[in-house]
Amino acid sequence: QQQVKQSPQSLIVQKGGISIINCAYENTAFDYFPWYQQFPGKGPALLIAIRPDVSEKKEGRFTISFNKSAKQFSLHIMDSQPGDSATYFCAARGSTPLVFGKGTRLSVIA
């Protein structure tokens, strides 16, 4: 049973463009929503995370937008660079361990 639905599966963005990845959840007990970046053959690295008491959080080129009523959150990567090409996972947790989305493979082309 997938508790966090992530889309799109893959994404191609031009260098300098904005990459947008969306996630939706159903469990209202979730209260922590991180995004992880994973390069091939490496473990996931925490990018940015948000709690439901705020609607947006920005760290450098990465922004999380959170819509509590819609139970959706998204990652925006501004000024996307070829080095951002990786797989991105959204996740969520409440009292249970982190649950991951299926991942989005991002390719940033010059």
State the residues that interact with another protein by CB under 8 A. Answer: 32, 34, 36, 41-46, 49, 51, 89, 93, 97-103, 105
Q: Min. distance of Cβ 45 from another protein in angstroms?
A: 7
The backbone region for 83, taken as left when phi is positive above 0, alpha when psi lies in -120 to 50, beta otherwise, is: alpha
Shortest distance, position 16 Cβ to another protein, whole Å? 27
Query: 23 vs 108, which CB is nearer to another protein?
Result: 23
Closer residue to another protein (CB): 16 or 32: 32
Dist. CA 89–CA 104, nearest whole Å: 7
Nearer to another protein, 32 or 82 (CB): 32
Structure tokens that stand for 89 in this block: 């996972």
Check if the beta carbon of residue 101 is closer than 8 Å to that of residue 35.
no
What is the phi/psi pair of residue 92, to 5°?
A: -155, 150
